[in-house]
Amino acid sequence: SLDVEHWLVDGFSAYMAFLPREKDETVFRKVPGRLAAMLPRSLRAGRDSLPALEDLLARDSSHSASGHDQTPKGKGTEYWADLLWTVYWCHLEGEGRADRLRRYLMAWDAEEQEKARAVLLDGKSPVEVQKDMAEAWKKFGVKLKFAQPSSP
C-alpha cells in the first residue's frame, strides 16, 4: 500500500525514478554509491542543509509526489532528503535489507501509525536518527547537514 506518510510516497517515487535499468531490468546494486555521486555538490559537501527529519515526518498532504519522473536537476532539498532517507532505510540501515522499513510499513498497514513511527525511530530521537544516517553516508564521501526543526 502507498497509503503512507507523504515523505515515503515521495521517497519511493524518487527512488524508483532514480534506479538504473540495464537490459530492461532494474539494477539494485551499488545504489548508495550511485546516488552519492549524483548529489549536488552543495549537499554532498554539507554546505546546504537537508530538512530536519522531524519536519520531513510531519509533512502534510498538501505535498505531492508529482515531478519525480523528471531529471533531478534543480530539485529542492526536500526531493534529495526523500531520496536519501529512502535509500538509507532500504540499503544502509541495519544489514541493508530494509527490515526496519518493512516493520514500519506493516505497522502502518495495520493502522498503528504511532507504533509505525516508533519502529522507524527505533527508540531514538529524530536528531539521533539523523546522526546515524549521516554516519552511514560518510562512507560514500557525503557530509550531510540538517536544518533545525521548524517546530519548537
Query: Using one digit for the tens of pLDDT, what is the confidence trace for 39-54?
Result: 999 999 999 999 999 9
Write out pLDDT tens, residues 46-78: 999 999 999 888 875 444 444 444 445 546 899
Count CB-CB contacts under 10 A for residue 77.
17
Phi, psi of 55 (to 5 degrees): -70, -40
C-alpha cell at 11: 521517497
Assess if residue 21 is contained within a domain. yes
Domain span holding position 21 = 6-97+125-138
> How many domains are contained in the chain?
1
pLDDT of residue 60: 58
CA dihedral sign, ordered 45, 46, 49, 54: positive
Cα distance between residue 11 and residue 89, in whole Å: 11
In a domain? residue 115: no
Over the stretch 105-141, which tens digit does the pLDDT of each residue have?
A: 898 888 787 888 899 899 999 999 999 999 999 999 9
